[in-house]
Amino acid sequence: MTDAASSRPLPAKIDLADPRWYLNRELSLLEFQRRVLAQSIDASMPLLERLRFLTICSNNLDEFFEIREAGIREQLTQGAPKLGAAQIAPSELLRRIASVAQYLVAEQYRVLNDVLLPALEKEGVRLLRPAAWSKPQREWAHRFFREEVLPVLTPVGLDPAHPFPRILNKSLNMILELDGADAFGRSARLAVVQAPRSLPRLFRVPGGVAEKPHDFVLLSSLIQGHVAELFPGMKVKSCHEFRVTRDSDLWVDEEEVDDLMAALKGELTRRNFGIAMRLEVTADCPQSTINFLLEQFRLPIESVYRVNGPVNLHRLGAIYDAVERPELKFPPFVPSVAPRVQRAESLFEVLRGGDLLIHTPYESFAPVVDFAMQAAADPEVLAIKQTLYRTGSDSPLADALIRAARAGKEVTAVVELRARFDEAANIDLATRLQDAGARVVYGIVGFKTHAKMLLVVRREGGQLRRYAHLGTGNYHTRTARTYTDWSLLTAHEEVTEDVHFLFQQLTGLGKVAKLKQLVQSPFGLQERLVALIGREAEEAKAGRPAAIVAKLNALTDPVIMQALLKASQAGVAIDLIVRGMCSLRPGIPGISEKIRVRSIVGRFLEHSRIALFHAAGEEQVFLSSADWMERNLLRRVETFFPVLDKALKQRVIGEGLKPYLADSAQAFELQPDGTYVRATPGRGKPKAAQSWLLDHVGR
C-alpha cells in the first residue's frame, strides 16, 4: 500500500477492525465513476456509445450529490465522529470527495470538448453553439425561438418585489447581469430566466438549414442567443447558465404515519426543493455572480463546480437516440430462448420437467413475463403473489397481475413504495392494482422489500402445486435488456414452500419461518455468509483446497469483510468481482494477500449477485438479490437461494464467473491503495466477458 498509515509494520496480533484494511465507500463509488468515464475515451467503443457513457457518468454524479453527499452532510450536522470501516471524519471525507469530484467534472468536459465533439463532427454529428451559426441558421434559430421558446419563458428581474425564485433540483437556469432602466424606472442589476420543463433540451436543425446530416442546437443556446429580447431596452452585460443539485433522499417516519403512500406523496412534492448540495456554473461566470448564487443557496465556495460547456451533460444523451447511425452504436443482437421453452405449450409443463435458468440480457426475459401472463390466463391457477421493487411504468408483469385480479384470482402484490427515484411510479402501480381488486401491501415497516419473488399456486390433478420465480434483478422488461441478471424458474417443492413462507411473513404476522433452501435477510443471511466463508477458512487451515468466488454490485459490510480477511489469512483463494463500491483493500501482505478484486464495466451493467464456495469439492452456488452491504443484510428483506441442479450450477460458474475472471479487455483490478488499474491481456488477444457471452449464449 502506498499511504503511510498502511505501510506501518503489522502488529503481532492483527486487529481485523483496523481502518487501514478498508476503503471509504463514497470514495470507492467515485472510483467507479472514473471507470465509467474511462469508457468514453476507449477507442474500441463505438462513438455514440462513448457519448452515452459520458452522460451516464454525469447522471451518476448527480445522484451521488443528491444521496451520498447529502447523507454525509447530515452526519456532519449530527456530530458523527468518523464514518464507515475506514473511519474518516465527515469533514475530511467531504474534502476528499470535493477533490475527486472536481477532477471528474473537469475530465468530463475535457473529454467532451477535446475528444467526443471533434470525433462526432467528423461523422456529421454537430452541436452548434451560437457563435458558429451561419446566417440561415441564425434566421432559423431566431424564428424558432420566437415561435416555440419565447412564449413559455418567464424572466424574473430581481428586486424587492421579485425575490430570487425557487429553483428546481437539476433544472436549467440563466442568471443575467443587466444595465439600464425599464419602463417603470426600475434598474435591477440581476435577472433569472428558468428554462421550462415542458421544452426539450435539444433540437434538431431542420434540413435546408443544417449543413451536416445531424446538426443540433441546445435549448440553452437558443435562450442565450436571444436573451436580450426578454429585456427590451436593457443592456444584457452577461448571461450564464447555472444549475443546483439538491438533497433528494426522502424521509418518512414509518412508525409515526398511518398511511405510507399518502406520506410519500407529500414528500415527493418537496424532493425538488431539498437542501442545496452543489452549484454548477459556466466557467466564465464572474465571481461576484457566483458569490450571489452561493448566498441564495446557502452553499460554501467548495460547492461550486465551474464547467466548460452545458451545465447538464446528461441532456446530450438525446443525441444518441436522435442519430440513426448503427455503425456508431453497439451492434444489435437477439436474445436466445432455451429450446425446451420454445417446444413447450406452457411454462408449467417446462418446470415440471426441471428448473429453468435464464441469463439476461443474453437470454430473453420473455419466459418470466410469459410465466406471469400464462398464470393470469390459466383457469387452474388460484393465486399469484409477487414482490415489485422496480417494474417500469408500462410493465407487462403488472398488467398480468391486474388481469388476474379482474379474473377473480387471489392476487397479492408486495409493492416497495420506497424504491429510490421510483416512488411515484410505484405509488401509481399500487393504486392500479388496488383498483383491479388485488391485495396490495407495502412490506415491513423499517425494512425495504428488495427480494425478487413470484409465486403461482395451481390446481393439478386435484392437488395444489406451487411454481416460483426468483431473481437477482428487477421485474423490469427494459433493464432486462441492458442489465446482466439471473432468473430461476422452479417447481422444486422445498424452494417454492420457502417462497410461500416468505410471502406469509411479508403480508401477515408471526415468528421467523424456518426455511429449507432459501436464506433471507434480515434474519440469518449475514450469519450464513460468515459461516460459509468460515468453512472455507477451516478447510484451508487443514491443508485442503478452499476457494470463494463472488460477483456483486457492492461490498461494504464490516462483518463480511472481516470474515473474508480471516479466510485470506487462513489461505483461502478469494476472487471478488465487484462492479461498484468495494471497501475491502486487497493484496495487503499478511492481511488480504489472497484476495483479488476486479470490476467489469462494459456494454451491459453488471447487476447479478453470485456466490461460489468450493465446499470440499461440492461447489455450492448461490444466487441472490442482496449485495454484501449492511443495508441489504440487516435492513432489507432479501433472498439468497441455491442452484440445486448440477448442470445449471455449472452453467452459472461457466457463464457468470469464469469469463469475468478471465476478462482482460473491460476489467479493472483494485489495488491496495484504492485505485483501479485496467487489466492487461498479456501476450494473447484481449478477452471481453460480455462479448464472449453474446457469442456463446445470445445470438
Positions annotated as catalytic residues are 450
Residue with cell 434474519: 523
Helices 396-406 & 366-377 angle (0-180, nearest 10): 10
Question: Could you tell me if 414 and 386 are in contact, meaning their C-beta atoms sit under 8 angstroms apart?
Answer: yes
User: How far, in Å, CA of 565 to CA of 536, rounded?
Assistant: 12
**SS3 letters for 236-290?**
EEEEEEEEEEECCCCCCCCCCCCCHHHHHHHHHHHHCCCCEEEEEEECCCCHHHH
User: How far, in Å, CA of 110 to CA of 117, rounded?
Assistant: 10
Strand segments, DSSP code E, in 472-590 are 483-490, 519-521, 547-552, 573-578
Phi, psi of 426 (to 5 degrees): -75, -35
User: How far, in Å, CA of 119 to CA of 113, rounded?
Assistant: 10
- Residue 73's alpha-carbon distances to 45, 94, 265, in angstroms, are 37, 8, 25
User: How far, in Å, CA of 495 to CA of 490, rounded?
Assistant: 8
Phi-psi region of 479 (alpha: psi -120 to 50; beta: other; left: phi over 0): alpha
Cβ burial, residue 568 (10 Å; 0-12/13-18/19+): buried
Q: Which amino acid is at 305?
A: Y
Q: How far is CA 481 from its chain centroid?
A: 15
Strand segments, DSSP code E, in 503-553 are 519-521, 547-552
Closest CA to 193 of 247, 127, 145, 135: 145
C-alpha cell at 44: 474500441
Most distant CA pair in the chain, distance? 90
User: How far, in Å, CA of 639 to CA of 168, rounded?
Assistant: 38
Q: What is the DSSP string of 206-223?
A: PTTT-SSTEEEEEHHHHH
- Intra-chain end-to-end CA distance of the chain, in Å: 44
* Length of the chain, in residues: 699
